[in-house]
Amino acid sequence: MRQKLLEVREEYQRLSELMATQEVASDPDVYRKHAQALASISDVVQRFNIFLKDDEALQDAKEIIKDESDPEMREMADEEKHAMEAAIEGHIAELKVLLLTKDPNDAKNTIVEIRAGAGGDEAALFCADLYRAYIRYIENKGWKIEVLNSNETGIGGFKEISFQVTGENVYSQLKFEGGVHRVQRVPATETQGRVHTSAITVAVLPEAEEVEIDIDPSDLQIDVYRSSGPGGQSVNTTDSAVRITHKPTGTIVTCQDEKSQHKNKARAMVILRSRLLAVKQDAEASKRSEERRTQVGSGDRSERIRTYNFPQNRFTDHRINLTAYNLDKVMEGAFQDAIDALIAADRAAQMAVQSA
């Protein structure tokens, strides 16, 4: 491990020197790329430097114990030795975590898409409820949210809604939200008090930069039309809604929330690039079977990941067998405990593979 850490420190020094050159400093794209690479290993280097400092102190203490004849000095050195050994043990544990293969998307902004599945109106209503819960979580994190596209129902739900989340390390926190979310509750329209089960799907996509996904304009079919809403609401008198079809993959993106056709097209392209990047990365990940074996959840929309049981106030994450009876708080945005548990489980799975 020490050799690997020394290599990481050398890479940190190399990147630092590169960023100080005029050639890199004058190219914003290259500079940003190097800055991101530097930031991704800075925690490792800082912890390793502290480890080396404490290791040096440990060796000094051992020398004193070995050579010093004064009992008082030997006692002080022995105390220092035990303190440094405990500190070094902590550094090693932390460095093992920091050396795990990092998801290159973790620092990226994110596109979240929520869609109603089985359950009709009740599923659409839960789309809206989960969206509001995510808003509260996002606001508590100090991130920003912008709706890219939505398709409302006439009773306050969403058939689908897509939104962009920007902030620090957004994807690292939200990436485990992808999959099927199942809700069990008595719908507002249920007259006999029966519990219904419905489901919605959530997709979490790292936002793609233009340099990551090169889209040939000739591969796009762009259609414009008048936007519409429930009961005739939000109907524009101009063709401002945009539908973009990526012909090679058949991917279709629509945006109609803005009154400006130009803004809707720009938003649709953001979503399209992110979807295409996700497809590309999924294909690459499927080739790395060992890596996929360590994943807590693949983010596959067909995978049931959560159950929200309202009668029991129960929140269950099936991937890590986490059950908590605080659903009322979760629906107010209290997702962090579950997210932290998922991150910890993912790290533990990776470490188990490394040590196997």
Among candidate residues 202, 176, 168, the one with its CA nearest the CA of residue 319: 176
**pLDDT value of position 58:** 94
User: Over the stretch 141-173, which tens digit does the pLDDT of each residue have?
Assistant: 999 999 988 888 888 899 999 999 999 889 999
CA distance 119 to 201: 12
**pLDDT value of position 143:** 96
**pLDDT value of position 171:** 93
Q: Which residues pair with 244 in a beta bridge?
A: 222, 253
User: Over the stretch 241-297, which tens digit does the pLDDT of each residue have?
Assistant: 888 999 988 888 888 877 788 888 888 888 888 888 888 777 766 654 444 444 455
Per-domain boundaries in the chain: 2-98, 110-288+304-348
**pLDDT value of position 213:** 78
CA distance 147 to 167: 15
What pairing do the DSSP bridges indicate for beta strands 158-166 and 144-152? antiparallel
Among candidate residues 273, 272, 268, 263, the one with its CA nearest the CA of residue 240: 263
Weakly modelled stretches of the chain, pLDDT under 70: 189, 191, 210-212, 228-238, 284-302, 354-356
Q: What is the pTM of this model?
A: 0.69
CATH topology of domain 110-288+304-348: Alpha-Beta Plaits (3.30.70)
**pLDDT value of position 190:** 72
Backbone angles phi, psi at 4, to 5 degrees: -65, -40
User: What are the helix (H) ranges across the chain?
Assistant: 2-19, 22-25, 28-67, 71-98, 121-141, 170-174, 261-286, 289-293, 327-330, 336-355
